[in-house]
Structure 1
């Protein structure tokens, strides 16, 4: 029917809505080629109808004008969610979208005054353009981040620590978004878990808010992923900034832990994000956490392994519905089983970055085998072809690294005390606090072989709040 409408030139609102739903289903099923073609057709139709251009809305058009606005932004977000990859590029750049942001239903019309090109410079309570506007802006940043990650390596590009480099610009835009994020939507003010349990009417807002939080932290996870850092730096010809490497390491750990935190809070609030795109974001965070499961400090290794398992169990739950998520879990498990084949990708994981006899260079960055690199790319690239097999309920197990498994056996009591609750995931287009980690101070450090030295000398030079604290900084 859609093909007939397209051939007859009847590309109206109904065609766009139907084509969008089919595109979304194709992507979720792993049929990325068909999904990308459908998105491209939809965006060309939007261009031909000039729906992407900011024009004064005719009030007489009412709900249909609002629907046209929403479907245009829906294509914008779907394009950025799935088309930034090794095989595809974004169909339309941000500057093609000059229409106003949509508002949540029942929201003040003033929330529609902003756009990607004309954003509010207000701050705090005056900056609120609606939670959907926040989500659209983050999808814009996500599209730029994936383009940078998957673009061909340029030998003449600036080092990431220099002003004007691609990653410096991304960081600046990300922090600028943070400064204009309205107080009403900040983590401390939303009270997510209580509202999810006690206020059913708030669930559409909370689901969109969760999408915002996932994207906000995932942008940092992606651009500071240790594998991405290794790939981007190893072809350089000059010394590397040890401070940049250390800050990149800390940022990836911090924000990947936030993703695990929100997965646990979704379980507590019984709100499920079932869109496989958010399973993919959890996979990025999981591969970062996997790097830390072999930490020589058993306390840290156990804690991080628990968070790694929370993330993989969330993807495993999605795998019961989406074949593409089954493929993702399979790849993560394979990466975990192969982890003994390469050292940590993090630079200077257990030492102070300034205590170096010489500056790091591309030649002494950690390396992965070609097979492991290919596997990591398949995990990071959302358009990678899925495994041609449907998962069974008991078909998937959550694996950890060999080091993490040994740590779990050593700390059976602590592991059972902090057993993971089954994570859950509920799609919404319209639309923390994890258990106290300080309880780990009860664990014993005695008689652990080469780990029997004091706690102070065994903990890496990472801020305490990053690993053990119940309060985390850099949250929205």
Structure 2
């Protein structure tokens, strides 16, 4: 119900559904695994999965500029769901599943509680990251490069997750494309694994997004850390390209996921890459423009099932069409040579127009793409039958056949394994080309923003592997 309402522009009802569901879970003690002895193991497992599904839904939508999480992490003390059978064949009931609040154990110790447990831990961190990014401006906050800053603590938690990430779930060991082609029985595991990879890299994209950093530092006084800005710049680009990589690999093996949240993560990566589509280096401009288009195409494919994805695609394309207005979001268009005439300060970092900033916030706040253009009053929570559904003045369309959960071999439903509804009749007109990159991309680059030439003279000092290299940091 909540997913359909979010997609159909009735976010006010969807938020109420999520909140009501979480209160019911609390009343029944499902978030604390109460009364576990009263149910069979299969019944208890089903209840745990319901509770964790609401945990993820709350962190997907409720962390926004207008809403807060209904239940914080501390309220979820139940064990993680059991791993899927393809992960742990012959698993014993005594298998240690762990909880969200387990201690870190020994430094660097790798304890495998299953890929779904990895996803839940990342959702926990995502909720904290979005609250940090979307919270009201705190002028007394520590600089983001400071040891005790919120960003530093979130970065530390992300790195801690990586040190405990079991080797069997790492990119090189999973061999995603081969298993997707040759082992259809592993689809449940691979679907969740792709979501883990999307979320793992998207956390870094969001925390080090150039627009987010611009907002966080522009109220500060004094000098800014040049090294921090440079590392953040490279970090956001690296992880946004990983999102492109996974979309490309899924396309190559015809592996499709229909979660609209993945479209939101792709939009965040696209706004990062948009910065580099205006490069004077034609090879860089062509490469990044192609990757930007792939991200938009991925969102456009999801819009065939989820109406709110159409809104998101329109916003990303509008931002791309307006790129002349805001230019680079970085403090220094001439590069990071280390020989700047003066340290960057909040007074000399670039600014965006109010319209561009509002558009960027709408893209970063997933919930904003799920609301109508008019303010909803409390009395409108249950609209009359004559009230039409609309999203930002778009004509209403019938809700498409939604993807339905498919039962895996052990009888359990996996949130990321779906079967498609009936095929769309051929006589229905094709949707507009939301995935097209505006023709202005790659033309009329921003004056003064150069990249190194063939001899390495001038411009942004990017490592070759970061922009054009065939091998990226695959150990991630």
Q: Is the 8 A contact 2:110 2:165 kept in 1?
A: no
- Give the corresponding residue for 1:203: 187
Shift in Å, 1:244: 1.0
Q: Is the 8 A contact 1:120 1:127 kept in 2?
A: no
Distance in 2, matches of 1:398 and 1:355, equals: 40
Distance in 2, matches of 1:140 and 1:359, equals: 36
Shift in Å, 1:207: 0.3
- Are 2:348 and 1:370 aligned? no
Match for residue 64 of structure 1 among 43, 54, 75 = 43
Distance in 1, matches of 2:9 and 2:455, equals: 46
Distance in 1, matches of 2:469 and 2:459, equals: 14
- Give the corresponding residue for 1:469: 469
Q: Size of the alignment, in residue pairs? A: 414
Distance in 2, matches of 1:395 and 1:352, equals: 41
- Are 2:11 and 1:32 aligned? yes
- Give the corresponding residue for 1:389: 395
Shift in Å, 1:33: 1.7
Distance in 2, matches of 1:453 and 1:24, equals: 49
Distance in 2, matches of 1:350 and 1:452, equals: 10
Distance in 2, matches of 1:453 and 1:211, equals: 38
Shift in Å, 1:36: 1.2
- Give the corresponding residue for 2:127: 143
Distance 1:453 1:191, change over 3 A: closer
Q: Is the 8 A contact 1:121 1:180 kept in 2?
A: no
The answer for unaligned runs of 5 or more in structure 2 is: 372-390, 398-428
- Give the corresponding residue for 2:265: 281
Deviating more after overlay: 105-114 vs 72-81: 105-114
Give 1 or 2: higher helix fraction.
1
Match for residue 104 of structure 1 among 72, 76, 83 = 83
- Are 2:441 and 1:404 aligned? yes
Report the secondary structure of 1:207's partner residue. Answer: helix
CA RMSD of aligned residues (A): 2.3
Q: Is the 8 A contact 2:337 2:460 kept in 1?
A: no
- Are 2:7 and 1:43 aligned? no
Shift in Å, 1:214: 0.4
Distance 1:372 1:234, change over 3 A: same
Distance 1:236 1:186, change over 3 A: same
Distance in 1, matches of 2:96 and 2:17, equals: 28
Distance 1:379 1:75, change over 3 A: same
Distance in 2, matches of 1:220 and 1:453, equals: 29
Deviations 1:75-98 (A, max 9, x none): 001000111111111001101111
Distance 1:474 1:162, change over 3 A: farther
Report the secondary structure of 1:291's partner residue. Answer: helix
Map 1:6-405 to 2 at 5 A: 22-54=1-33, 57-58=36-37, 61-106=40-85, 107=88, 108=91, 109=93, 112-119=96-103, 121=105, 126-348=110-332, 351-352=335-336, 354-384=338-368, 385=371, 386-387=391-392, 388-389=394-395, 393-400=430-437, 404-405=441-442
Shift in Å, 1:57: 4.0
Q: Is the 8 A contact 1:323 1:389 kept in 2?
A: no
Report the secondary structure of 2:223's partner residue. Answer: coil
Shift in Å, 1:236: 1.2
Shift in Å, 1:451: 9.3
- Give the corresponding residue for 2:414: none
Shift in Å, 1:383: 1.1
Distance in 2, matches of 1:228 and 1:55, equals: 41
Shift in Å, 1:453: 5.4
Distance in 1, matches of 2:132 and 2:216, equals: 10
TM-score by length of 1: 0.82
TM-score by length of 2: 0.82
